[in-house]
Structure 1
């Protein structure tokens, strides 16, 4: 019987191909994990926008408006007045974009947690839109936790890429910003061959940090999403570098996940 645990000690690179679903699960599990730790007067909630996707044409729509659906009879009558050729139906490429906010009893935003996705990192307009939102958080003096576990796309974290130590470049990273220390960022690398780190989630200056256990989140996503059914015979996309590709192949073969 195939093990129902991921063969990887940390982030499973194959989960990136299923990121919309994985991202949605991470948001829910992270909310639950944080709410179990927070003081009574704080709450973690899920904020949602919709990203309309095109390589360089992405925009964010906040779902604040209710759409009133017309009765079917009215729709049929409208179609009958102007018959046109039968179209091919192609699904619209929209992505729900969610992040977490920790707020106090008055609704003031204390901390924002972003799980980055390819649609934050691919395409110039998408990157610009994300970094504008990022700047709003920083300028407002809000704690910001950015978790980037995907390898697709360009670097968009708040910390300058040029300031990163060499060993932290070109790999998944977590970036934590505290307005109490506005001159620095905390960077936590997420190495492929190691367990994901536990990440501090800053609250108000007088309160101890909450802790986000990233490995537990990924493990829960893997189990509940039934991702043990992934075909590990193929290499992940995007491909790893040659050393990591060989390590991955040896690991999967040693666990019977690859022939």
Structure 2
């Protein structure tokens, strides 16, 4: 598993290295799972513009298409399939559950400043209102004020 946030800028060395690795792995017998939780950057043409976020699976050695799970900001992250070697069945990976666990164990609620504007690119207007309401409610439950701006 790798963290690859720097691979989204077209033409960057990180992007080019990522594309080479993706091609090498997806044409091999190795399974490839990619989870894109960044709103900015470049996506493969077959995924571009379909959702805020996605997870994809290319089964190793399989000629078939990608398996893709699309989700937006307001959606619960999906449970995706993690393939194992035969004769074992896929293992489900609850992305939302994993994210929630990492968020709690990493104490991100205490270390991330939610009082400012979300990072670029800007949220769609309806999503910005939704996010602001959610943050305000969450901070109120914690006894904090969102008016640190």
- The answer to whether residue 130 in structure 2 is matched with residue 243 in structure 1 is no
1: CA distance, partners of 2:38 / 2:60? 26
Residue in 2 aligned with 1:185? 66
Q: Is the 8 A contact 1:118 1:152 kept in 2?
A: no
Residue in 1 aligned with 2:78? 197
- Report how far residue 123 of structure 1 moved: 4.7
Question: 2:60 aligns to what SS in structure 1?
Answer: coil
2: CA distance, partners of 1:149 / 1:165? 13
TM-score normalized with structure 2 length: 0.80
- The answer to whether residue 106 in structure 2 is matched with residue 225 in structure 1 is yes
Alignment of 1:55-94 (within 5 A): none
Of residues 135, 143, 146 in structure 2, which corresponds to 1:258? 146
> Structure 2: where are the runs of 5+ without partners?
none
CA RMSD of aligned residues (A): 2.1
Question: 2:115 aligns to what SS in structure 1?
Answer: coil
1: CA distance, partners of 2:6 / 2:40? 9
Q: Where do 4+ consecutive residues of structure 1 move more than 4 Å?
A: none
CA offsets 1:73-115 (integer angstroms, 9 cap, x no match) = xxxxxxxxxxxxxxxxxxxxxxxxxx2xxxxxxxxxxxxxx55
**Larger proportion of strand:** 1
- The answer to whether residue 93 in structure 2 is matched with residue 234 in structure 1 is no
1: CA distance, partners of 2:63 / 2:129? 41
- Report how far residue 152 of structure 1 moved: 2.8
> Structure 1: where are the runs of 5+ without partners?
1-98, 100-113
1: CA distance, partners of 2:115 / 2:136? 10
1: CA distance, partners of 2:38 / 2:47? 18
